[in-house]
Amino acid sequence: MPGPWESHICPGCACLCDDLDLVEADGGLQAHNVCAWGSAKFLGSKKFHPGQPRRRLTAPFVRRRGRREEVSPEAALAQAAELLARARRPVVFGLTACGSRAQEAALAVARHLRARLEPADLNLMAPYYQALLTAEIHHASLEVLRDEADTVLYWGANPLHSCPRHLTRYTVFARGRFTERGVEDRRLAAVDLHRTELARFCQVFVRVAPGADLELIRAVQGVLSGASRATVTGAVRLAEFLRHGEVGVIFAGRGLAVGAEALARFAALGDLIRVLRPARRFFLLPLASDFNSAGLYHLLLTRLGSPWAPDFGEGDPPVFRSQPVRWEEVDALLVTGADLFWLLPEETRRDLTRRQVPVVAVGPWEDRTVARAAVALPAALEGIEVEEVAYRQDGIPVCLRPVLPPPAPAAHQVLTQLLEISS
Amino acid sequence: MLTAPELLEFLPQTDCGQCGMTCADFAGLLLARDLSPADCPVLHEPEYAGFIEALEELLATAPAAGRGMAIDPARCIGCGICVAMCEHHLAQVPEARAGRGPGLGDRVIFRVVNGQVVVVNQELCVRLLQAAEKCSKCAEHCPTEAITLR
């Protein structure tokens, strides 16, 4: 294993930190400047339990009479192609935690299968990009925010759990060109269901009831524009907090993506930014945690022109679906770049299992989806074992370089082979 | 493990300054065995009878702790806030100033390795170098309270 590698890019989360130093130690890899999340990927441990090893998917298998049978990659691909070709309503799910080449290959597979492509974080990112298109929200890179932002608001987001180095590298503690004193030059606020670790750094922390975000956003906007008096707890404090900023940013997290009001919430945040903007510079960014979530929406927007889930079931060009997929209609699944059975509610998991919906899983880990898969194909870790391209959460593309030999082909190679066999 | 706040409960907590410091600082130095309970002039007053003995009993049951900081690996998430906030890094490590992780060759107090903060050069800590300087920024800003200063 040659090395050391300096300034390596971490594929752990959407921060894509570019300051990792990797050295060989005790026959393995030692990663410097990597958080617990990134470290889990480099060291092969569980994300929330650093001491516990995470099992790799080492060989392709097909499930026959409930038992896993290891087969050749060609046999597994043929079985996967057959299962997916038989389906009337197939869905290609995930794609937020895999590289851009894999996403492109998955889009081609979805088009060929006449399937629906369902991003794992559709409810968070698609409404954001829709708001970006319609509300004329300005865009800024994380470096610009580090240098200039004096007002930071996390809404429905806890970066310490989704992107642990976000505060350190870009938003609160980093010292930038016009924020030379770091945290002392900035003001931080957060809105969340529960009091989180962020609260200890916040000038304003507002606890919001489940489902009350939209009302609060509109109330803050009303106070700022002088159109109405606050009727929601915390609205005045938030409005005053935002009013006193010169350059600010609102990071919207998964808390805003819950339920059917996601699009309305992002539209309201867009309106809020518009109210703030004449006298100040304010930005809105989603706090995506999967390392290439932005890359998927970049692909959808540049290739298809819409951030919503493309459904090729009725032909090409696709129909764009803004509502999450109705799982009871799905009769085959191709999952890559996400652990679907970890994300789904128990009731839906049981329903998919009861109906024996065939699942084809492509990925590096033995996760819950692989445990239920009819066919599973191992893939290499992108950015550690194979080269890939990923987009940081602010939309900056970066090239991920490998440092270890791959034990399996890259996900984009597997998906391309699947497409070739299916054609 | 015995902590300074536990010792503080047996101190006057009036911050009178007769010992030359605050009660919290006195508790920290008690924990590090730099001072003994009898060094507090106020505890010799009849009002505080038995407090010195109680403190000595507490200190006798706890193993002597070294000075500096202790990291709880079960709590640390490797966010690196301590590395960015450290006074020594602020002056000596430009990378850490800007929020980036320090380079392999940088002489730092702690760095994040494999997702956990590890103390590599504790002797550089401002807290240990200058008795008058009571920097505790790493522990104050740790979001998971993984750092304990001793």
A164-209 pLDDT, tens digit per residue, is: 999 999 999 999 999 999 999 999 999 999 999 999 999 999 999 9
Q: What mean pLDDT is predicted for residues A29-46?
A: 91
Name chain A contacts of B71, Cβ cutoff 8 Å: none
As a whole number of angstroms, the distance between CA B144 and CA B150 comes to 17
Are B73 and B124 in a shared domain? yes
The rounded mean pLDDT for chain B is: 85
> Residue B67: pLDDT above 70?
no
Are B34 and B104 in a shared domain? no
User: Chain A: nearest CA to B30, how far in angstroms?
Assistant: 28
- For the segment(s) A61-121+292-422, the CATH number from 3.40.920.10, 3.40.50.740, 2.60.200.20, 3.90.1150.10 is 3.40.50.740
Residue contact B104–A32, C-beta within 8 A: yes
Among left, alpha and beta (phi > 0; psi -120 to 50; other), residue A216 is alpha
Q: How confident is the model at residue B62 (pLDDT cuts 50, 70, 90)?
A: low
pTM of the shown model: 0.86
Are B50 and B74 in a shared domain? no
- Chosen for mutation from A22, A142, A145, A168 (greatest number of chain B CBs closer than 10 Å) is A168
* CATH code reported for the domain at A124-286: 3.40.228.10
User: Chain B: nearest CA to A299, how far in angstroms?
Assistant: 29
| Domain of residue B16, CATH code | 1.10.15
Are B44 and B106 in a shared domain? no
Are B84 and B43 in a shared domain? no
Is residue B108 a contact partner of residue B121, using CB atoms and an 8 Å limit? yes
Quote the Cα angle for A28-A398-A182, to 5°: 85
Are B141 and B73 in a shared domain? yes
Is residue A148 a contact partner of residue A248, using CB atoms and an 8 Å limit? no
B94 touches chain A (CB under 8 A): no
Mark which of B21, B45, B61 sits at the end of a domain: B61
B84 touches chain A (CB under 8 A): yes
> Residue B131: pLDDT above 80?
no
> Residue A380: pLDDT above 90?
yes
Q: Which of B80, B104, B113 sits opposite A6 (nearest CB)?
A: B104
Mark which of B24, B39, B61 sits at the end of a domain: B61
- Chosen for mutation from B76, B87, B106, B114 (greatest number of chain A CBs closer than 10 Å) is B114
pLDDT number for residue B28: 72
> Residue A283: pLDDT above 90?
yes
Q: What mean pLDDT is predicted for residues A219-228?
A: 89
Residue contact A175–B99, C-beta within 8 A: yes
- Count structural domains, chain B: 2
Are B137 and B95 in a shared domain? yes
Q: What mean pLDDT is predicted for residues A402-411?
A: 95
Are B56 and B121 in a shared domain? no
Name chain B contacts of A146, Cβ cutoff 8 Å: 98-99
Residue contact B80–A35, C-beta within 8 A: yes
Are B133 and B81 in a shared domain? yes
Is residue A415 a contact partner of residue A102, using CB atoms and an 8 Å limit? yes
Q: How confident is the model at residue A4 (pLDDT cuts 50, 70, 90)?
A: confident
Are B18 and B79 in a shared domain? no
Are B9 and B49 in a shared domain? yes
Are B75 and B119 in a shared domain? yes
Q: What mean pLDDT is predicted for residues A273-286?
A: 92
Amino acid identity of A408? A
Question: Where in chain A are the domains?
Answer: 5-53, 61-121+292-422, 124-286
- Domain range for residue B123? 69-149
Residue contact B143–A6, C-beta within 8 A: no
- Say whether A124-286 and A61-121+292-422 share the same fold: no
Peptide bond just before A317 cis, omega within 30 deg: yes
